[in-house]
A and B are shown apart, each in its own frame.
Chain A
């Protein structure tokens, strides 16, 4: 014979927990975890920072092209980031001149030499718009073209429309 009371208890426990249990569950502390998987964790190298800063520069440029607002700190961070990327791209391009470029090399970033020229151009144009110089239509078109070529070489897991906070300054 089925014990109706115990079935009811069981149902309440498994399907519809009491309200206070739900509240307690919501209050349970859960630490957010982001970044590399445990097996891939390691110290950040210069190449990691270069690629991350380049991705940031792409986002900054796309935000500008989307006419998202700038502010004094945003302008400052664009200038700082563009300068870092420009200097690093110059050094990486010099390394290729010095050591030669091996298309099949597995270590390092190993982008084509022309990639670094494109990155330098992107950084210079970013500096220009961060300083308030307006880019004429043909320059914006060139900027977009350059940006798209760079984006083909680096990958993103989010689109700019996912970052709603960039639409306010």
Chain B
């Protein structure tokens, strides 16, 4: 198996008003990618920052947020920066369909753990080897 390569200077933002869950996500992602992780406790602050400072490579947001909720944030981010990966998380099963409709790339159902966060890093942050893509001719 080849060694993984993390996307250079990857920028990840975590948006969640629950500081305990947010800090856990940040610790896991910071360790995984060895980079600073942007943190916001509401959707409005995150959106203002993205508009002013540029969009990150990946946004992880709780559906339940003040002012701009996770669903609205997904829609806005995908419209302004289609290349940004958006991952929504929630404790309500009904939000899964809503997340899909807004164009979320992944849905994380609470409670989740380290394995799920590593899975996200492996899927969206590790550069894919073209040899692994079945559509690439040998």
Contacts and interface: CB of A to CB of B under 8 A. Distances in A.
Interface of A: 23, 26, 29, 31-39, 41-46, 48-49, 51-53, 55-56, 59-60, 71-74, 76-78, 80-81, 84, 156-158, 163-169
Given A33-B96, A38-B93, A158 B118 contact: yes
Given A26-B135, A34-B107, A43 B91 contact: yes
For the complex of A and B, 4 pairs with smallest distance between CB atoms:
A35-B109, A164-B4, A38-B93, A35-B112
A61 to B, nearest CB: 12
A43 B89 CA distance: 11
Interface stretch (B28-36, B38-46, B49-57): B28-36
Contacts of B6: 165, 168
B115 A157 contact: yes
Contact of A43 (B108, B110, B116, B126): B110
Nearest to B2: A164
Given A32-B105, A52-B24, A73-B30, 7 more contacts: A31-B105, A35-B107, A35-B109, A42-B91, A164-B126, A165-B33, A165-B125
A156 B1 contact: no
A77 B24 CA distance: 10
Nearest to A81: B27
Given A56-B28, A158-B115, A165-B126, A73 B36 contact: yes
B122 interface: yes
20 contacts: A23-B135, A31-B104, A33-B106, A34-B108, A34-B120, A35-B108, A35-B109, A39-B93, A49-B21, A49-B24, A56-B28, A60-B31, A73-B30, A77-B27, A158-B115, A158-B118, A163-B118, A165-B126, A166-B32, A169-B34
Contacts of B93: 38-39, 41
A167 B5 CA distance: 9
B100 interface: yes
Contacts of B3: 164, 167-168
Contacts of B114: 52, 55-56, 59
- Determine the interface band of chain B, counting residues with CB < 8 A from chain A: 35 or more
B111 interface: yes
Given A38-B96, A81-B31, A164-B4, A53 B106 contact: no
Contacts of A45: 111
A165 B4 CA distance: 5
B91 A53 contact: no
A167 B32 CA distance: 10
Contact of B111 (A33, A48, A80, A157): A48
B111 A42 contact: yes
Interface string B119-135: 11111011000000001
A135 B35 CA distance: 26
Given A53-B24, A165-B6, A35 B30 contact: no
